[in-house]
Amino acid sequence: MKVLALNCGSSSVKCQLFETSLEEMEANRDRQLGRVSVERIGTPDALVRSEKGESKRPVAEHCEAIEIAVSLLAEGLDGKREIEAIGHRVVHGGERFSAPVELDDAAAREIEELNDLAPLHNPENLKGFRAARDVLPHARHVAVFDTAFHQTLPPKAYVYGLPDAVWRRHKVRRYGFHGSSHRYVAYRYAQIHGFARDYKLITCHLGNGCSMCAVDKGQSVDTSMGCTPLEGLMMGTRSGDIDAGAVLHIMAQEQLTAQEMDVLLNRRSGLAGLSMASNDMRTLLELCQRGHAAARLAVDAFCYRAKKYLGAYHAVLNGCDAVIFTGGMGENAPAIRAGICDSLEALGIGIDRDRNEAAAGVEANISAQGARVEVWVIPTDEGLVIARDTLLTLAERHDRQQE
C-alpha cells in the first residue's frame, strides 16, 4: 500500500510517501518513495522543496499546496489513485483519542472540540485533512495523534495541583506531545541493540518546538509538555515553564486579554523573546560567537532548562540506559548537546567531543569512553510512524468488518 504521511501547519505542508504492507513493516522493509514540503503558503513566493530541488511559486492555500506535493510525488507512480491512504499528524487527541482513528467528518468534529487545547495546531491539522480529501477523494484517512504515546503516563505524572472538579471538568491535565518522534527514537534505539532487553531512556526532541520524555520498557512515563505544547522546555517562540502567578501579574500590569497573553507566551517568547534576535538556534550560536550577550543568555538558559529535565527524568527512571537527541536542533547542533550534557558525570552521562562534533543529521553514538549512560543522536522519522499507524488502523478496521 502507498501511504501519504501529511503534516499540515498554518503556512506549510510536509508530505512523505511510503510503500508499506504488514509484511514489509514486520521485516522493517517499508520504503520512503519521496518527500515534498511547501512553505510560506499564501504568498507569491511559496517555497516548494523535493528531492529534485527547490523552486518558488505562488501558492494561495493548502489545497493547492497539497495538489502540488501529490503531483510531484505521483510522478513515479501510475497516477494519483495509487495513493490509497493518508495519515494525518494531529497534535492533540485529549483523553478521547488514545490511538489512531480513521478520520471522517464525525471524527473531525470530535477533534475540533479539542481546538482550545491546541489552538495553534489542531485547526491547521484539520485544514490539511479537508484539503487532502479534495485532492485525493478516493483515499482513506487516518488521524495519528501526538498525544497518544503518552497515554501510559500514570495519574501522579499527569495531574496538576488543581481542584479535582475543575481539572476534570475542563480536562486540564498533562497530555504530552511529539509522541511519534519519542516513540520512533525509543524503538530505533532498542532495534539498534537487538531488542536485547527493556531499556530506560530519556528522549530529547529539540526543534522549534521542544520536549523531553522518560521512556521505560517502551512506554512514556513522563514528559515535559503538558496540557498544551507550551509547557516544559524553552522553545523557539514559546516560553516553556513559567510561574502561573507571573502570567497573572503580567496580564494585570500590561492590561492584556487572555488572547493577547496567549500570543505573548506562544509567539513572542522563548529563544526569540529572550535573545531579541531570532528563534533559530543556528543564528543564535553565530551571534554568540560575535559576543551577543542576549543570544548567549538565551542559549545558556535553554541548555540549563533541558539539563534540569534530564536530571529529573534520570530520577524518575531510577537511572537510565541512554539519552537520545533528535529533532532539527537535537540532530544538528553539537554545541547544544554539549551544553545540556556538560557536568553530568555524577549521573554517568558524558559525551565525546570529537564524536559529538562529527554527528550532524546522522545516527551516532556520541558517548564518552567509559560513560555508564550512552548518549545517541538518532534522526527522527515521524512520517514513518504515521504511515505505519495508518496501515495498521485500516487493517484492523478491515479485520473487524470481516468478523
pLDDT at residue number 9: 84
Are 207 and 139 found together in one domain?
no
> Is 201 contained in some domain?
yes
> Is 157 contained in some domain?
no
Please enumerate in sequence order all residues whose Cβ is within 8 A of that of 69, keeping only pairs 6 or more positions apart, or say none. Answer: 13, 15, 36, 37, 38, 48
- pLDDT > 90 fraction of the chain, expressed in percent and rounded: 92
pLDDT at residue number 400: 66
Which is higher by pLDDT, 354 or 115?
354
CA-CA distance, 17 to 31, in Å (whole number)?
A: 9
Chain mean pLDDT for the chain: 95
Are 125 and 251 found together in one domain?
no
Are 207 and 74 found together in one domain?
no
Are 217 and 354 found together in one domain?
yes
Residue whose grid cell is 495519528: 144
> Is 392 contained in some domain?
no
* Cβ neighbours around 366 below 10 Å, total: 25
pLDDT digits (tens, 9 = 90+) for 377-399: 999 999 999 999 999 999 987 66
Q: Which residues of 73-109 are buried (b: 16+ CB within 10 A; e: fewer)?
A: bbeebeebeebbbbbbbbbbbbeebeebbbbeeebbe
Residue range(s) defining the domain that contains residue 139? 2-145
DSSP code string of 172-214? -S-----HHHHHHHHHHHHHHTTT-S--EEEEEEESSSEEEEE
Residue whose grid cell is 517499508: 30
Are 103 and 200 found together in one domain?
no
pLDDT at residue number 353: 97
10 pLDDT band (50/70/90 cuts)? confident
CA-CA distance, 215 to 283, in Å (whole number)?
A: 32
pLDDT at residue 120 is higher than 90: no
What does DSSP assign to residue 53?
Answer: E
Task: Give the residue from 273, 276, 275 showing the smallest Cα distance to 298.
Answer: 275
Distance of CA 142 to the CA centre of its chain: 18
Task: Give the residue from 305, 349, 326 showing the smallest Cα distance to 203.
Answer: 326
269 pLDDT band (50/70/90 cuts)? very high
> Is 211 contained in some domain?
yes
pLDDT at residue number 11: 83
pLDDT at residue 403 is higher than 80: no
pLDDT digits (tens, 9 = 90+) for 139-157: 999 999 999 999 999 999 9
> Is 339 contained in some domain?
yes
Please enumerate in sequence order all residues whose Cβ is within 8 A of that of 48, keeping only pairs 6 or more positions apart, or say none. Answer: 36, 37, 38, 54, 55, 56, 57, 59, 68, 69, 72
> Is 397 contained in some domain?
no
Domain of 333, CATH number, reads 3.30.420.40
Distance of CA 342 to the CA centre of its chain: 25
* Whole-Å CA distances, 398 to 88, 109, 391, 392: 19, 23, 11, 10
> Is 400 contained in some domain?
no
pLDDT at residue number 294: 98
Longest dimension (CA), the chain: 68
Are 131 and 235 found together in one domain?
no
C-alpha cell at 68: 502540488
Indicate the pTM of the whole model: 0.93
C-alpha cell at 134: 479534495
Quick one: CA dihedral 71, 74, 80, 85, positive or negative?
A: negative
118 pLDDT band (50/70/90 cuts)? confident
Number of domains in the chain: 2
pLDDT digits (tens, 9 = 90+) for 153-181: 999 999 999 999 999 999 999 999 999 99
H-state helical runs in 35-148: 62-73, 105-112, 122-135
CA-CA distance, 111 to 105, in Å (whole number)?
A: 10
By the 10 Å C-beta count (0-12 exposed, 13-18 middle, 19+ buried), 269 is classed as buried
Are 67 and 9 found together in one domain?
yes
83 pLDDT band (50/70/90 cuts)? very high
Picking from 129, 145, 161, the residue at the C-terminal end of a domain is 145
Are 128 and 248 found together in one domain?
no
Which is higher by pLDDT, 136 or 26?
136
CB 200 within 8 A of CB 215: yes
Are 103 and 206 found together in one domain?
no
Q: Which of 30, 78, 116, 146 is catalytic?
A: 146
Residue 112, φ and ψ in degrees, nearest 5: -60, -30
> Is 277 contained in some domain?
yes
C-alpha cell at 157: 505524572
Are 326 and 245 found together in one domain?
yes
Are 198 and 291 found together in one domain?
yes
- Residues recorded for the chain: 403
Are 214 and 103 found together in one domain?
no
* Whole-Å CA distances, 329 to 111, 315, 332, 387: 30, 25, 5, 24
Question: Per-residue pLDDT averaged across 85-95, rounded?
Answer: 96
pLDDT at residue 138 is higher than 80: yes
Give ∠ CA 98-170-267 in degrees, rounded to 5: 85
Has 241 been annotated as catalytic? no
Residue 369, φ and ψ in degrees, nearest 5: -60, 130
Q: Among 27-36, 302-311, 331-340, 346-355, name the one with the lowest average pLDDT.
A: 27-36
Which is higher by pLDDT, 11 or 272?
272
